[in-house]
Structure 1
Amino acid sequence: MAKQNDRPTLATVASRAGVSIKTASRVLNGEKHVAASTAEKVEEAAAELGFRLNSTARRLRAGGSSPYIGVVMSDGDDPFQTHLFTLLESELSTVGLRPVVTVTADDPDRERGFLDECLANDMTGICVIRSHPDAARFYTAAASADVQIVSFDPSTTGPGVDLIAGDEELAGRLAATQLLKHGHISLGVIGDHSTSPITTARLAGIQSAFAGRTDVGWRAYMREDAHDLASAKNVVAAWLGSRSAPSGLITLSATLTQGAIDACRRLDEWPALVGIDDFPTAELLDVTIIDRDVSSMAAEAVRRLQEPPSSGPRRHQIPVYVIARGSGEEAPDK
């Protein structure tokens, strides 16, 4: 059985025929005003590759615009992504739109294949919750095909892409400041995917909070290789089991916050903790969080998806704020 990524896509048809993705889409969708020689090359390429357009999408096109929006997620277990998708789906339903979602598992080839299918089936738009940095260039080509693209991921930007994101640098600065003002000068910082713009900005914000402070120790505890709940749990367990454990923790995602809490519970050691991004049980666990209004992010995305595609990049910044629930307000042990 062929793998999903081995299936022919609109991009491979266009490449075989030597035309743009937009031209290939026009030919395969039966649009007029395409040169006969060009149409023949595209049709031959599609036949050779065994490419087929989705028949349901074709019927929808005959009656008007598609009610479908392609949604890209990288991790179905990430609390932020699933929460945002739930809100997005609800907002889409109010305007008669429905999501078609893929979870890429950080595979840029899978992401590109899904994007090609969205273009081939003339979806009304594409919404990127989290993307692989190597896939960012694919969206510029999609935007040139007059598809409305909205991104929540700063790694996916460029002409024709509307970015809706929080002030990630401020989020990092607020997390560090919350611990500093309660007397913590020995801080453990747990990050993941250090090459992503989100993590990079959050780390820059943390560092800015320490500017001019020679009494703060954090670099010795900095970890950028905790990619999931289990690895975050192991990192924190190792710190808490040492003689020089940090008195406060900053976690750069909801998944990492949950891993840190698991380690604290297992060892019954509870340093102060501030996490970035809220998650469903954070309030029950009294976890201090840096967050933004995710509901307004979803609503703004749906508003943008109903507008004509823009020619240049646009950014809508969502304010971030502290939700003080107790874990970030603990004083260091004497």
Structure 2
Amino acid sequence: MAKQNDRPTLATVAARAGVSIKTASRVLNGEKHVAASTAEKVEDAAAELGFRLNPTARRLRAGGRSPYIGVVLSSADDPYQVRVLSALEAELSTVDLRPVVTVTADDPDREEAFLDECLANDLSGIIVVRSQPDTAHIYTRAASTSGVRVVSFDPAVSGDGISIVTGDDVDAGYRAARQLLDHGHIALGVVGDHSTSIITTRRLEGIQSAFAGRHDVGWRAYMREDAHDEASAKNVVAAWLGSRSAPSALITLSATLTQGAIDACRRLDDWPALVGIDDFPTAELLDVTVVDRDVETMAAEAVRRLQDDARERPGRLGGGADQGQDVFPVRVIPRGSGEESPELRRRNLPRNS
């Protein structure tokens, strides 16, 4: 009899039933041409021992693929990354795949170690939601040497064998700025994060394009690219609002920074117009205007890419680093904060009572 803490194996089931391991395997894998009495003995033995076939091992032995997909996040506090993970999990479940998730906490060593574990365990693919800039190259090497499928929401993770699913960050910046310009604002504070990242660079490019030819717009004096979390964004905005020449409107380049800006406005009871890039769970409750991506559609495309053997598909952008890249449109969701006039700001009236 197996010890209480021993894990029953196919061999112990076969021994209990008095049959060969091969016969026990045939019974438990549902194969035909086994005598009913023999099948009953094996099934009874398996039930008594609490034996369960490992579906993953069975699938791999049959030449199938692992049901696990590695998913890389840089932060569990970023509302956008959490939204993407939730959408990915739902999409993966529809094709019998499951995510194995790491949160790198901006640690490149942790990210590289996770990738090594994914490759060692023969995972079916890797989805990068956000990577460290210094670590992006490791995925190109993994895709080229191991053949693992890599899909990235982060445009910094690019190269041969990598599919990119991303939002139109240039248009996101443009739309955020246009929303405020169209409502009369010419003094705008821009709160950014990690100026070296492709995402931030593209969003700033879009903002600048909206200001093209407008010499009356002041924003460079208010440009900050060193706000990396809610606390730092709150400090930046609080300093602006406490000055005599405060901007009448704010553009925040991520949902995390938007939440920090709102915290500063709430504490000072001072509400400039605000447009944030990327939606977050409480934005509708707080009447925050955002420019958002269709996360659910992007997640569905990412999962399709994992299952797609072809490296070229209709609709992909061709050429250079953009090969295998899909850029999804963004949209403005007006909720009130981005539609206020500068006059309201000058009167220093709170938006929410």
* TM-score category of the 2 structures, normalised to the smaller one: 0.7 to 0.9
Q: Does 1:100 align with 2:96?
A: no
Matched residue, 1:90: 90
1:330 corresponds in structure 2 to 340
CA distance in 2 between counterparts of 1:127 and 1:174 reads: 28
Question: 1:179 maps to what in 2?
Answer: 180
Percentage of matched positions with identical amino acids: 71
In the other structure, the counterpart of 1:110 is 110
Asked if structure 1 preserves the Cα contact closer than 8 Å seen for 2:234 and 2:262, the reply is: yes
Instruction: Give the unaligned 5+ runs of structure 2.
Output: 1-53, 313-319, 347-353
- Report the AA paired with residue 110 of structure 1: R
Aligned match of 1:80: 80
Aligned equivalents of 2:334, 2:328: Cα separation in 1: 19
By how many angstroms is 1:62 displaced? 2.3
Q: Does 1:65 align with 2:72?
A: no
Q: Deviations over 1:235-268 (max 9, x none)?
A: 1011001110000000000000000000000000
Q: Find the counterpart in structure 2 of residue 8 from structure 1.
A: none
How far apart are the structure 2 equivalents of 1:261 and 1:229?
Answer: 9
Checking the alignment, whether the CA contact within 8 Å between 2:104 and 2:111 is kept in structure 1 is: yes
Which residue number corresponds to residue 244 of structure 2? 243
Q: CA deviation at 1:317?
A: 1.1
2:291 and 2:300 map into 1 onto residues whose CA distance is 20
Contact preservation (8 Å) 2:238, 2:264: yes
Q: Structure 1, residues 266-305: CA drift from partner, whole Å, max 9, x if none?
A: 0000000000000000011110000111100010011111
How far apart are 1:61 and its partner, in Å? 2.8
Structure 1: which amino acid aligns with 2:136?
A
Residue in structure 1 matching 2:324, options 300, 314, 318: 314
Q: Is the 8 A contact 1:147 1:309 kept in 2?
A: no
Count, aligned residues:
280
Aligned to 2:141: 141
TM-score scaled to structure 1, two decimals? 0.81
Name segments (4+ residues, structure 1) moved above 3 Å.
Answer: 55-60
Contact 2:193–2:228 (CA under 8 A) maintained in structure 1 = yes
Q: Which residue pairs with 1:197 in the alignment?
A: 198
Distance 1:59 1:132 in 2: 36
CA distance in 1, matches of 2:165, 2:335: 27
User: Over residues 62-102 of structure 1, what are the superposed CA-to-partner deviations in whole Å (9 max), with x where a residue is unaligned?
Assistant: 24210000000000000000011001001000100000000
Cα offset for 1:169? 0.5
CA distances 1:167-216 after superposition (whole Å, capped 9, x unpaired): 10010010001000100000000000111000000001101111111100
In structure 1, what residue type is equivalent to 2:248?
S
* Whole-angstrom CA distance in 1 between matches of 2:94 and 2:277: 30
> The residue matched to 2:134 in structure 1 has which SS?
helix
Counterpart amino acid of residue 103 in structure 2: V
| SS of structure 1 residue aligned to 2:258 | helix
RCO higher in structure (CA 8 A, sep ≥6): 1
The residue type equivalent to 1:219 in the other structure is R
Q: CA RMSD in A?
A: 1.6
* Deviates most, 277-286 or 103-112: 103-112
Superposition map of 1:1-334 within 5 A: 61-63=60-62, 64-144=64-144, 145-308=146-309, 310=311, 313-333=323-343, 334=346
- Distance in 2 (CA, whole Å) between partners of 1:74 and 1:256 is 15
Q: Distance in 1 between matches of 2:250 and 2:69?
A: 38
Specify the code of the residue in structure 2 equivalent to 1:239: W
Letter in 1 for 2:60: R
Equivalent residues of 2:56, 2:67 under 8 A apart: no
Structure 1: give runs of 5+ residues left out of the alignment: 1-54
Q: Which has the larger radius of gyration?
A: 2
Letter of the 1:314 partner, please give it: G
Match of 1:133, as an amino acid?
Answer: P
Does the 8 A contact of 2:155 with 2:199 survive in 1?
Answer: yes
CA distance, structure 1, for counterparts of residue 117 and residue 59 of structure 2: 15
**Cα distance in 2 for residues equivalent to 1:88 and 1:252:** 23
Distance in 2 separating the partners of 1:262 and 1:316 = 35
Query: Could you tell me which amino acid in structure 2 is paired with residue 80 of structure 1?
Result: Y
Amino acid at match of 1:330: E
Alpha carbons 2:192, 2:254 under 8 Å: kept: yes
